[in-house]
Amino acid sequence: MPLAFSASQALQLSVTQHAEQLPAYLNDEERVIGALLDPNQLERLGEGRYRYTVTRLQVFQLQIQPVVDLVARRSPNRIELEAVDCELEGLGVVDDFQLSLDSWLEVNPEGLHGEAALAVRVSQPSLLRLIPTRVLEATGRSLLSGILLGMKTRVQQQLLNDFEAWCLAPAGH
């Protein structure tokens, strides 16, 4: 029986200085993605495509490391990031593993507004068969919530710092 769990996180970020430049900043896709995610774990695959190696996670006795392929899409005042493929290193043979990430960030009158939804569906690894499904799913939800909270914190700190640096850089960004 597959395990399934999900989590989501909303973001409302007030930006008062240089707010009129937010749309142009969001259009600088590679820079924004590098500020949203750890650039040391990020590889650009091509136009609008990235590979992100998630920090190694400990789940009970297992260490796992998701490697996620992402697609970025831009539209006026908005950037979206979607997981299109994922490998799971560390679990050995897993019959089915699906990860979905849908996130967006857009300019609004107060600054930036966004949301991220993360979901996983995976067959129960044989090492964890003795642990009740509800415990595994609760642990999975907690793990995903922690990942999203880390992303939110990074956006609130790193993205705002990067935006400020971008605004202060010489024209032409």
Q: How does pLDDT run across 19-33, given as a tens digit for each residue?
A: 999 999 999 999 999
The band of 86, judged by pLDDT with boundaries at 50, 70 and 90, is: confident
Contacts 24+ apart (CB under 8 A), 139-147: 139/59, 139/60, 140/3, 140/5, 140/59, 141/5, 141/6, 141/7, 143/57, 143/59, 144/5, 144/6, 144/7, 144/118, 144/119, 144/120, 145/7, 145/9, 147/7, 147/54, 147/118
Q: How does pLDDT run across 69-82, given as a tens digit for each residue?
A: 999 999 999 999 99
Q: What pTM, to 2 d.p., does this model score?
A: 0.82
Whether 103 and 117 have beta carbons less than 8 Å apart is answered as yes
For 18, residues 6+ apart whose C-beta sits below 8 A from its C-beta are 163, 164, 167
